[in-house]
Amino acid sequence: MGSTEDLDYPQTILQYSSGFLVSKVMFTASELGVFDLLLESGEPLSSDAIAARLGTSTTGMERLLDACVGLKLLAVELTQEGALYRNTEISNIYLTKSSPKSQYHIMMYYSNTVYLCWHYLADAVREGRNQYERVFGVSSEDPFGAMYRSEEEMLKFMAGQNSVWSICGRDVLSAFDLSPFRQICDLGGDFFNNSIPEAELYILSKILHDWDDDKCRQLLAKVYKACKPGGGVLLVESLLNEDKSGPLETQLYSMNMLVQTEGKERTAAEYSKLLEAAGFGEVQVKRTGKLYDAVLGRK
């Protein structure tokens, strides 16, 4: 941003302004079942056929399909019978429910929960707290009470987390040699109030970014106390650069932590400081180049 071209015509600014429109097009096509239908059909379909089978208007569906073509989520072929649409390879892999790498569930969580919270981003910045009370009528002091406000919402949230893990988990778990650890605990549940079982390695996947520094120190102290000598803790988090200049995705995640939780994204040094304050040492950091990175501390 800031190039001569942008100063003459604000292409970057215009792209940023329409960014949420792009997201909603992809979310809507997923929610309506466009990508699933085209995969199951085994052949390209017309907009009229897709609209009829999905129970939508023909005019609305045609515009949605054309927008997906523009986003390279669909491809179109013009024939004598008219335009025929098919999935692109990336849509078959990541946007169909049946794919093992499907991102459908996390997108539905973003569309139906995160999107609503971001409507109140300005309020979150003014107040410095999450916006669940405005959005869902749930106390802002109980962010997980909002995420788990019904069994259906809890299942949606967990399915969304599994979606992301399907494309990031292998890189995180292979970041370090974890073979010496025989007893591993993937920490979840009400870990502030419940006891933590004894183990050699604790995996805290996307947990600390939900909480402020004081609660992180409290939790890590409990983990350290329960951890066997020679054991450790593996943090799975999206790491900011040390000067917090990026990555952009992590900066946006940190904004999302503001509107949805009590926490924030942190740098490797900040996580290392939290681990050391709890007693862990020999802290190692591995950036995966994908959504989530790995930080390992030893007792």
105 is catalytic: no
Report residue 191 as tokens.
Answer: 């870990």
- What is the C-alpha end-to-end distance of the chain, expressed in Å? 45
Report residue 244 as tokens.
Answer: 């917090």
Name the residue with tokens 């939290």. Answer: 274
CA distances from 156 to 102, 126, 131, 160, 298 (A): 14, 29, 19, 6, 34
- CA dist., res. 48 & res. 40, Å (int): 17
Helix residue spans in 33-138 (DSSP H): 34-41, 47-54, 58-70, 89-94, 104-109, 115-118, 121-127, 132-136
Select which of 105, 209, 264, 299 is catalytic: 209
- CA dist., res. 217 & res. 245, Å (int): 25
Contact 260, 196 (CB under 8 A): no
Catalytic residue annotation = 209
